[in-house]
Amino acid sequence: MPNGGTLEQAKSIEEMMLRELAWLWPIGALTLGAIVAVLLTMVLPRHRQGLIGAWAAGAHVTAAVLAVAVWLDRGVRAIMEQTVIVDGLSLTMTALIGISGALCIALARPALAGTEREGEFYAMLTFASLSAVMLVMAADAALLGLAIGALGLSTFVMTGYLRRSTRSNEASIKYYIFGTVSGAFMLYGLSWWFGLAGTTNLRLIGEQLQSAPQGYVIASTALVIFGLGYKAALVPFHFWTPDAYDGAPVSVAAYMSVLPKLAGLAALARVLTLALPEDTAGWATAIAVLAALTMTVGNVAALAQRNVVRLLAYSSIAQSGYLLMGVAAINGSDQGLAALVYYAMAYAAMNLGAFAVVAAVQRERRSVDIDAFKGLGRTHPWWTVVLVLSFLSLLGLPPLAGFVGKLELFKASIDAGQSWLAVVAVVNTVISLYYYLRVISPAVLDAPAEAEPGVPRTWVVRPTPIAVVLGLTAVATVAFGLAAEPLLRLAEKATMLSG
C-alpha cells in the first residue's frame, strides 16, 4: 500500500505539472531561445552570427505573443504549488519584456555585427530577459532570490561586453560588486522572513509577519527592498547606474534602463502586497518617501550632465521615482497598479526611443556629448523628431504617452492619500524641463558641429535595425498618448493574484 500510495501521488503530481505547463509557454519560449542561441554560437561562423540575433529577437516576440495567448485562452492562476504566479501583472510585463528585448537586439545589431562574441551577447540577453520574467512571476522567496541573482549575473556580463575598454571594465566591476552586495543583503532579509514564518511562500510569510515582532519585520523588509531597489535603480541604491550605462554599449544601457528596472518594480509590488498585506510595518509610506527621494536626486543630478548617456542614466533614476509612485499607492488606491502598468508601457517606448537616437548619433559622430547633437535637425530630421518626441514624453508633455502616464500616477497618489508625493512629482517634472531642453535645443536650433556650410538634409530613411527601433518607439510614444483608453483598460485588468 505505501508503494501504491507513493506511485499514485507521483502520478498525480506529474499530471498536475503537465496541466500547468500551458501557463508557462512564455517562459518556455525564452528558455528555448536562450539554449538554442548558445548552441548556435558554437556552430555558426562569426560572419553568420547575426542569425542568432534574429533567433533571439524571434524568441522574445514569441514570448510576448504567448503571454497574450495565455491570458486570452487560459486566464490567470497560481501554479507550481504557488511558486509561480501567472496573472495580469506578470503576463503584461512578460509581453512588455518580450517586445522591448527584441527592440534592444535590433538596437545592438549594428554595433555588434562581426564582433568576436556577437552570438554570446544575444544568448546572454535572452537569458537576462528570462530571468526578468521569472522575477516578475515569483511568488516564493527562493525563486525570487534565484531570479534576481541570474538577472544580475547576465546583465553584468553584458555591461562588460567591450572587454578591451577600461571604462567598460570599470563599469562592469562596479556593477558586479554593488549587485553582489545588494543581492547578499536581500537574501539575508529573505532568510529572516523564512525564520519568522517557517516557509518561503510569500503569501504564507505575509500571514505570519503580521504577528511577528515589528522591529524584525522592518529590518528584514529593508534588506529585501535593498536588493529589488538596486535592480530598479532607486535612491540610495542607484550609484552604479551612471557608470554602468556610460561604460556599457549604448544598446546595453538601453536594455538595463528598461527591462531589469520594470521587472524589479513589478516584483517589488508583488512582494510587498503578498508578504506585507494591509500595509504591514507601514511600508506604503516608506516607499512613497523613497519615490520622492529617487525622482529628486535623479532630476537634480541630471542638470549638470553633458554626456547624454549619463544624462539619460540620471533621467532613468528619476523615472524610477515616478514609477514607484504606483507601487506606493497600491495599498491605498485601486488605481495604483493600473497606473504603474500603463506608465511602464509608456516608459519602455519613450526611453528606448531616446537611447536609439543616442546610438545612431554615436555611430555617426563618435560622441555622445551634447555638442554631438548640434544641428541634428538639419542633417537627420527623422532622428530629431524621435528625440523630441521621446524627451517631451519623458518630461510629461501632452498629448504624448508620458503625460497620460504621469497623470494616472498623480491621480493614484492623491487617491491613496499621498497628495504631497504628487506635489513633489510635479515640482520634479518642472526641474526636468531644463535638462531635456538642453539636448533638444542644440539639436533643433544650432548648426551642425562640422561647421560645413552645406550639410545635406537626410530625409530618406533606410530600413536599418536602428531605423526600425526609431520608427516603432516614436509611433508607440504618440499612439499610447492619443489612444490611451484601450491601454488604460488593459492596465486596469493587469491585477495581481493573492497567491
pLDDT tens, residue by residue, 18-43: 677 778 889 999 999 999 999 998 88
Do 107 and 248 form a contact (C-beta atoms < 8 A)?
no
Backbone angles phi, psi at 455, to 5 degrees: -70, 125
Stated as kind and residue range, the H or E segment containing 497 is none
Sketch the domain layout of the chain as residue ranges. 283-499
Q: Which amino acid is residue 42, in one-letter code?
A: M
Do 412 and 335 form a contact (C-beta atoms < 8 A)?
yes
Instruction: Indicate the pLDDT class of residue 12, thresholds 50, 70 and 90.
Output: low
The three cell numbers of residue 212 are 511577528
Return d(Cα 319, Cα 316) in angstroms, integer. 5
Which residues neighbour 11 within 8 Å (Cβ) at sequence distance 6 or greater? none
Return d(Cα 339, Cα 333) in angstroms, integer. 10
Tell me the pLDDT tens digit for each residue of 58-90: 999 999 999 998 888 776 777 777 788 888 899
Q: How many CA atoms lie within 13 A of 153 on its CB side?
A: 9
Please report, rounded to a whole number, the percentage of residues in the chain having pLDDT higher than 70: 92
Instruction: Indicate the pLDDT class of residue 452, thresholds 50, 70 and 90.
Output: very low
* Max CA distance (Å), the chain: 92
Question: Average pLDDT for residues 159-185, to the nearest whole number?
Answer: 83
**Per-residue pLDDT for 1 more than 50?**
no
**Per-residue pLDDT for 454 more than 50?**
no
Strand partners, 369: 307
Which residues neighbour 452 within 8 Å (Cβ) at sequence distance 6 or greater? none
CA 402 to each of CA 100, 269, 313, 319: distance values in angstroms, whole numbers, following the listed order: 17, 21, 17, 10
Do 312 and 250 form a contact (C-beta atoms < 8 A)?
no
Return d(Cα 157, Cα 138) in angstroms, integer. 23
Return d(Cα 221, Cα 21) in angstroms, integer. 32
Mean pLDDT taken over the chain: 86
Do 362 and 368 form a contact (C-beta atoms < 8 A)?
yes
Q: Identify which of 355, 356, 245, 242 has the alpha carbon closest to the alpha carbon of residue 298.
A: 242
CA 9 to each of CA 4, 14, 21, 37, 80: distance values in angstroms, whole numbers, following the listed order: 9, 9, 18, 37, 15
What is the pLDDT, as a whole number, of residue 463?
A: 62
- Supply the pTM of this predicted model: 0.90
Return d(Cα 12, Cα 3) in angstroms, integer. 14
What is the pLDDT, as a whole number, of residue 282?
A: 78
Instruction: Indicate the pLDDT class of residue 453, thresholds 50, 70 and 90.
Output: very low
The three cell numbers of residue 492 are 486596469
Question: Average pLDDT for residues 392-416, to the nearest whole number?
Answer: 93
Beta strands per DSSP E along 65-215: 77-79, 84-86
Return d(Cα 267, Cα 275) in angstroms, integer. 12
Tell me the pLDDT tens digit for each residue of 210-259: 888 888 888 988 999 988 888 888 988 888 888 888 888 888 999 999 99
What is the pLDDT, as a whole number, of residue 375?
A: 86
Please state which of the ranges 264-278, 395-409, 421-435, 446-460 shows the lowest mean pLDDT: 446-460
